[in-house]
Structure 1
Amino acid sequence: MGAVLGDILGFAAAVAISPLPITAMILVLATPRGRLNGSLFAGGWILGLTVLGGVTLAVVGPAGASSGGQPALWVGVLKLVLGALLIVFAARQWHRRPTHDSEAQLPKWMSGIDHLTPVRVCGLALGLAALNAKNVPLTIAAGASIASSGLPVAQQIASLAIFVLIGSLGLLAPLAVFLVGGDRAKTTLGGWKDWAARHNVAIMAVLFLVFGLKLLGDGIGIVTS
């Protein structure tokens, strides 16, 4: 299990460092029902990662491991495809990066967060977790690594739970600051939001490139072994 955790912790950290979802969480916390909406947003995010990872485990299943206990050939091909996609995303993100702070803007959909109902807040987080262009390949890659490890089902579930927990720390941190920080939390979270708006695109481009290259390396290793 240790080897699998070593393989997926990087993916989990990349999921956790998601500037847009973190910014969305900060905006949710600023709504009149910040405590409730923030908790629901965190719950929706955790649910989204769990569902996507769980579906990957179920689909890959025993077929992900070869007779020798090593990942099957098609798992290597899958990682090659996911890695190539991430590198393409990295190039697109880098091309879109703002050259000046004045050009950095948050997506227009964030302006409507104040008007979302609690149910829609939860649904928004679920979508950001399970349908996000960055999270999907990273979570699928983590799920495929877990499923192809040959571990017992209980250890696979535990590994996925650890992945989800670490992948949620980026949202749980501002929620914790809000719940325990009192009035000072608004200033702290406001600074985080401004920083994320300025650097979101560049951060995403770097993450896409780093983990795209990792997946390509993993895929090449499986295919050529």
Structure 2
Amino acid sequence: MGAVLGDVLGFAAGVAVSPLPVIAVILVLATPRGRLNGILFTVGWILGLCVLGAVTLAVASPADASAHEHPATWVGALKLALGLLLLFFGARQWRRRPKDPSQAKLPKWMGAIDRLTPVKVFGLGTALAALNAKNAPLTIAAGAAIGSAGLPVGQQIASLAIFVVIATLGLLVPLGVFLLGGERARTTLGNWKDWAAQHNVAVMAVLFFVLGLKLLGDGISVLTS
């Protein structure tokens, strides 16, 4: 299980360091129902990661993902494909980065966050976790890594739970600041939001490149060994 966690923690950290969801949760916390909406958004995020990770595990575990304590060929091919996908997204993000960070614009849908019902806030958290161009490949890769290790079911569940907890830290920190920080929390979170908004594209591009190369290397290693 220890060897699997080495891979899983790297993927989880990549999910956690996501400027866009951090901006989204800060905007959610600034709504009139900030406390409730922030918790619902975070729970939705956790659910999205759990469902996607569990589906991947359900597919990987009985599909001969591990052969003789070595990942099966399809696991290597999957990691290779996910790595290439992330590199593609990284190149696209890098080309789209603004020359002046202060001119960076947030997605239009973020302007409607203050009008979302609690149910839609929950759905937004779920979607950003499970359908995001970076988070989905990393969660699938984590599930494949766990499933390909030939672990008992209990250890698979524990590994996925650790992945989800680490991957949620990017939201838990702003939520904790809001719930415990009082009035000063609004200023702190506002500064975080401004920084994340200005550097979102560049940060995402670098993450796409780094994580894409990691998955590419893992996939080549599996396929050639």
Q: Tell whether the structures are fold-level matches, with TM greater than 0.5.
A: yes
Which digits, 9 at most, give the CA deviation of each residue in 1:19-59, with x for residues without a partner?
Answer: 01000000000001110000000000000000000000001
Residue in structure 2 matched with residue 103 of structure 1 by the alignment: 103
Residue in structure 2 matched with residue 138 of structure 1 by the alignment: 138
Pairing of 1:145-160 with structure 2 (within 5 A)? 145-160=145-160
Residue in structure 2 matched with residue 94 of structure 1 by the alignment: 94
Residue in structure 1 matched with residue 20 of structure 2 by the alignment: 20
Q: Aligned pair count?
A: 225
Q: Distance in 2 between matches of 1:108 and 1:189?
A: 20
1:193 and 2:193 are equivalent in the alignment = yes
Which digits, 9 at most, give the CA deviation of each residue in 1:113-135, with x for residues without a partner?
Answer: 00000000000000000000111
Q: Distance in 2 between matches of 1:166 and 1:66?
A: 25
Please list every run of at least 4 consecutive aligned residues from structure 1 whose deviation after the TM superposition is greater than 6 angstroms.
none
Letter in 2 for 1:167: A
| Secondary structure at the counterpart of residue 191 of structure 2 | helix
Letter in 1 for 2:162: I
Q: Tell whether the 8 Å contact from 1:64 to 1:144 is kept in structure 2 after alignment.
A: no
Letter in 1 for 2:166: I
Deviation at 1:103, TM superposition (A): 1.9
Letter in 2 for 1:184: R
| Secondary structure at the counterpart of residue 106 of structure 2 | coil
Normalised by the size of structure 1, how large is the TM-score? Answer: 0.98
Residue in structure 2 matched with residue 11 of structure 1 by the alignment: 11
Q: Could you tell me which runs of 5 or more consecutive residues in structure 2 were left unpaired when the two chains were aligned.
A: none
Q: Distance in 2 between matches of 1:25 and 1:145?
A: 29
Q: Distance in 1 between matches of 2:60 and 2:127?
A: 22
Residue in structure 2 matched with residue 34 of structure 1 by the alignment: 34
Residue in structure 2 matched with residue 214 of structure 1 by the alignment: 214
Which digits, 9 at most, give the CA deviation of each residue in 1:164-218, with x for residues without a partner?
Answer: 0000000010000000000000000000000000000001000110010011110
Q: Tell whether the 8 Å contact from 2:52 to 2:130 is kept in structure 1 after alignment.
A: yes
Q: Distance in 2 between matches of 1:216 and 1:108?
A: 33
Q: Could you tell me which runs of 5 or more consecutive residues in structure 1 were left unpaired when the two chains were aligned.
A: none
Residue in structure 2 matched with residue 78 of structure 1 by the alignment: 78
Letter in 1 for 2:190: G
